[in-house]
Amino acid sequence: MEDALGAAARHAGSGLKDLLTELVAGKLTHLVALDVGTGVVCLPQAEVPEGTMLLPGSFNPVHEGHEEMARRAAEMLGRSRSNVLLELCVVNADKGAIDVETLCSRLEKAVARGNRILASRATLFQHKADVFPGCVFVVGYDSYRRILDAKYYAPAGAFEGSSDEERQAWVITALQKLHSKRVSFVVAGRVDGDGFKSIETHSILKLPEELSGLFLALPDFRNDISSTALRAKAAHESTA
């Protein structure tokens, strides 16, 4: 049975570049891009139903690691693969807005591989939870570690010199706000220089009982493919 996004897409137009321009300019909060057999179509301000799974990333480029993580996370929760949207934020937290031509290229390549893309302006998970309440975020261990980093939640000028207790309190308060938006996280493990890390082997922070279901481990999956390495390989091959 076709889902709501697929059905809506059959009556939508393309206009990807124009809509991305509006999104970057702040005239839209988000759009969904997908292909229902007629090429890329866009749904501006599309309703994202509660329970939708969002896999955030820069997708430069999108690769099989992203797609396998999406498939496995959907399988874990008993969902179809089409329930997972790859979420691309059009604003880089450090560098500002990504240019429209670059965004068009990334979205078109991702959709051509059969993915559904959610492009948004929500840079932080607190913002994402406000715009897409009730969604399930599919993330890697590095993102999990950043979600629990107190520096993102400290009051201005308060982080330096703060105690461990203060930092933990800031993180717990932030997680409670996420929980109030009914979001949750599926977290894939990763291998780095210190070996394999997951929320089961390196949980970082003991959560209160009320938050015990906020993070779920994606079992038997390692997110080891590097977009940076793929870009370097592609650049090398293009000059060979």
For 18-39, give the DSSP string: HHHHHHHTTS-SEEEEEESSSS
* CATH number of the structural domain spanning residue 170: 3.40.50.620
The predicted pLDDT at position 234 comes to 44
Mean pLDDT, the chain, as a whole number? 89
pTM to 2 decimal places? 0.87
The predicted pLDDT at position 227 comes to 45
For residue 21, give both structure tokens. Answer: 């321009």
Span 78-133, pLDDT tens digits = 999 999 999 999 998 777 889 999 999 999 999 999 999 999 999 999 999 999 99
Which residue segment(s) compose the domain that 131 sits in? Answer: 4-239
Sign of torsion over alpha carbons 115, 120, 124, 128: negative
Domains of the chain: total: 1
Residue 216 CA to residue 200 CA, distance in Å, equals 9
Span 119-138, pLDDT tens digits = 999 999 999 999 999 999 99
Q: For the chain, how are helix, strand and coil distributed in percent, rounded to 5?
A: 40, 20, 40
- Report whether pLDDT(235) > 60: no
The predicted pLDDT at position 230 comes to 44
- Report whether pLDDT(193) > 90: no
